[in-house]
Chain A
Amino acid sequence: MADTQTNSPGGTGAGGAGAAAGGSAAPEAEVRRGSLFARLPVVRDIRRSVGLQRGMLLTGVVIVGAVVLCAALAPLIAPYGYNQLADESGSFGAQQPPSAAHVWGTTVGGFDVFSRVIWGTQTAVMVIVVAVLMSLFIGVALGLVSGYFGGWLDRVLVVAADAIYAFPSLLLAIVMTIVISGGQSDVVGGVFAAAISITVVFVPQYFRVVRSEAVRLKSEPFVEAAQVLGEPALKIIARHVYRNATRNIPLVFTLNASEAILTLAALGFLGFGIEPTSAAEWGFDLNKALADVTSGIWWTAMFPGLAIVLTVLGITLVGESMNDLADPRLRRRRRAGKSKEASHG
Chain B
Amino acid sequence: MSATVALPEASGGAAESAPGPRRSPGSGLLRYIGIRFLLIIPTVWILTTLVFFLMRITGDPITAALGGRLTQAQLAERIEAAGYDRPLLVQYFEYMGGLLRGDFGTAISDGRPVSRILLQHGAATLELAFYAVLVALLIGVPLGMLAARLRDRWPDAVLRILAILGYATPVFFAGLVLKLIFGAFWPVLPVSGRGSSTTELVMSGVVAPTGIYAVDALRIGNMPVFSDVIAHAVLPAIALGLLTGGTFLRLVRTNLIGTLESQYVESGRSRGVSEFRLVTRHALRPALIPIITVMGMQVAMLLAGAILTETTFEWNGLGYQLSEYLKARDFVAVQGIVVLLAVIVAVTNFVVDIIAVLIDPRVRY
With A209-B9, A248-B8, A251-B7 as known contacts, state yes or no: A174 contacts B54, CB within 8 Å: no
- The docked-state distance in angstroms from the alpha carbon of A171 to that of B323 is 11
Interface segment among A25-33, A66-74, A90-98, A308-316: the answer is A308-316
CB within 8 Å for A266 and B172 given contacts A166-B345, A166-B346: yes
Q: Min CB distance, B269 to chain A, in Å?
A: 10
Chain A 270-292 interface mask (CB, 8 Å, partner B; 1/0): 11100000000001001001100
Chain B residue numbers with a CB within 8 Å of A289 are 176
Residues of chain A in range 126-147 having any CB-CB distance to chain B below 8 Å? none
What DSSP secondary structure best describes chain A's contact surface?
helix
A132 to B161, CA, bound (A): 25
Q: Tell me which of A160, A205, A269, A293 contacts B184 (CB under 8 A).
A: A293
Whether A296 and B184, one on each chain, are in contact in the complex, defined by CB atoms closer than 8 angstroms, is yes
Cβ-based interface call for A168 (8 A): yes
CB of A163 within 8 A of CB of B307, answer no
- Checking B167, B254, B303, B334 against A312 with a beta-carbon cut-off of 8 angstroms, the contacting residue is B167
Residues of A contacting B167 in the complex (Cβ-Cβ under 8 angstroms): 258, 312, 316
Tell me whether A256 and B2 are in contact (CB under 8 A). yes
- Select one of B2, B300, B329 contacting A168, CB under 8 A: B300
Are A175 and B5 neighbours in the complex by a CB distance under 8 Å?
A: no
Tell me whether A320 is interfacial, beta carbon within 8 Å: yes
A176 at the interface (CB under 8 A from B): yes
The answer to whether residues A162 and B17 also contact, given A259-B1, A296-B180 and a CB cut-off of 8 A, is: yes
How far apart are the CA atoms of A266 and B323 in the complex, in Å?
Answer: 11
Neighbouring B residues of A52 by C-beta, 8 Å: 152, 157
| Mask: chain A, 295-316; 1 = CB below 8 Å from B; 0 = not | 1101001100100111011001
**What residues on B are CB-neighbors of A56 within 8 Å?**
160-161
Q: How distant is A184 from chain B, measured CB to nearest CB, in Å?
A: 8
Contact B345 A179 (CB under 8 A): no
- Chain B residues contacting A329 (CB-CB under 8 Å) are 254, 257-258, 261
Restricting to B244-282, which residues have a CB under 8 Å from any CB of A? 254, 257-258, 261
Interface residues of A in 50-108 (CB under 8 A from B): 51-52, 56
- A294 and B183 within 8 A (CB): yes
In the assembly, what is the distance between CA of A241 and CA of B351, in Å? 36
Give complex CA distance A270, B327 in Å: 9
Q: Does B57 contact A298, Cβ atoms closer than 8 Å? A: no
Given the interface contacts A168-B341, A313-B165, A330-B254, does A255 sit within 8 Å of B170 by beta carbon? no
Bound CA span A56–B326, Å: 40
Q: Which of B42-50, B84-92, B201-209 contacts A (4 or more CB under 8 A)?
A: B42-50
Task: Tell me, yes or no, whether B342 is within 8 Å of chain A by CB.
Answer: yes
Give min CB distance, A156 to chain B, whole Å: 10
B313 CB, min distance to chain A CBs, angstroms: 10
> What chain B residues lie within 8 Å of A262 (beta carbons)?
170
| B58 interfacial by beta-carbon distance below 8 Å | yes
Is B173 a contact partner of A323 (Cβ separation < 8 A)?
A: no
Residues in B whose Cβ lies below 8 Å from that of A323:
5-7
- Are A294 and B184 in contact, with the CB atoms below 8 A? yes
Question: Does B294 count as interface, using CB distance less than 8 angstroms?
Answer: no
The verdict on B129 contacting chain A, using a C-beta distance below 8 Å, is no
Which residues of chain B from 326 to 365 have a CB within 8 Å of any chain A CB?
326-327, 329, 331, 334, 338, 341-342, 345-346, 349
Beta-carbon contact of A182 and B173 below 8 Å: no
Q: Which residues of A are found within 8 Å of B172, using beta-carbon distances?
A: 266, 269, 286
Q: Which residues of A contact B331 (CB under 8 A)?
A: 178
Are A266 and B179 in contact (CB-based, < 8 A)? Answer: no
List, in ascending order, chain B residues with CB within 8 A of A237's CB.
none
Q: For A212, give the chain B residue with the smallest CB separation.
A: B12
A163-B42, A266-B304, A286-B173 as given contacts; A183 in contact with B329, CB under 8 Å: yes
Interface centre among B164, B179, B183, B261 (most CB of A within 10 A): B164
Q: In the complex, which of the residues A167, A174, A178, A317 contacts B58, with contact meaning CB atoms closer than 8 Å?
A: A178
Which chain A positions have C-beta within 8 A of B57? 179
Residues of B within 8 A of A167 (CB): 47, 300, 342, 345
- For residue B46, which residues in chain A have a CB less than 8 angstroms away from its CB? 159-160, 163-164
Once the chains bind, are B311 and A252 in contact (CB under 8 Å)?
Answer: no
- Judge if B312 is at the interface, Cβ distance under 8 Å: yes
For residue A170, CB closer than 8 A to chain B, the reply is yes
A159 / chain B contacts, CB cutoff of 8 Å: 42-43, 46
The interface residues of chain B lying within 8 Å CB-to-CB of A208 are 9, 12
Taking the closest CB of chain B, its distance from the CB of A265, in whole angstroms, is 5
A153 within 8 A of partner (CB) = no
Pair A169/B7 contact, Cβ less than 8 Å: no
Q: Which of B51, B170, B342 contacts A269 (CB 8 A)?
A: B170
Q: Is B222 an interface residue (CB 8 A)?
A: no
Question: How close is B140's CB to chain A, nearest CB, in angstroms?
Answer: 16
- A332 located at the interface, meaning its Cβ lies under 8 Å from any Cβ of chain B in the complex: yes
With a CB–CB cut-off of 8 A, which chain B residues contact A283?
Answer: 170
List the B side residues contacting A188 at CB < 8 Å: none
When chains A and B are docked, how far (Å) is the Cα of A32 from the Cα of B183?
Answer: 59
Q: A168-B341, A168-B345, A170-B307 are in contact. Are A305 and B2 (CB under 8 A)?
A: no
B43 contacts A293, C-beta separation under 8 Å: no
On whether the beta carbons of A305 and B170 are closer than 8 Å, the reply is yes
Instruction: Jot down 21 A-B pairs with beta carbons below 8 A, ordered by A.
Output: A163-B46, A164-B46, A166-B349, A171-B304, A174-B338, A182-B59, A183-B326, A209-B7, A248-B8, A252-B7, A255-B2, A270-B308, A270-B323, A271-B327, A293-B184, A294-B184, A305-B173, A308-B173, A323-B6, A329-B257, A332-B152
Q: A162-B43, A308-B173 are in contact. List 14 more A-B contacts (CB 8 A).
A: A166-B349, A167-B300, A168-B301, A168-B303, A174-B338, A179-B54, A179-B57, A205-B2, A256-B2, A269-B172, A301-B173, A309-B170, A329-B254, A332-B152
Chain A interface (Cβ < 8 Å from any Cβ of B): 2, 51-52, 56, 159-160, 162-164, 166-171, 174-176, 178-179, 182-183, 205, 208-209, 212, 248, 251-252, 255-256, 258-259, 262, 265-266, 269-272, 283, 286, 289-290, 293-296, 298, 301-302, 305, 308-310, 312-313, 316-317, 319-320, 323, 327, 329-330, 332, 341
Q: Which residues of B contact A (CB under 8 A)?
A: 1-2, 5-9, 12, 17, 42-43, 46-47, 50-51, 54-55, 57-59, 64, 152, 157, 160-161, 164-165, 167-170, 172-173, 176-177, 179-180, 183-185, 191-192, 254, 257-258, 261, 300-301, 303-304, 307-308, 311-312, 322-323, 326-327, 329, 331, 334, 338, 341-342, 345-346, 349
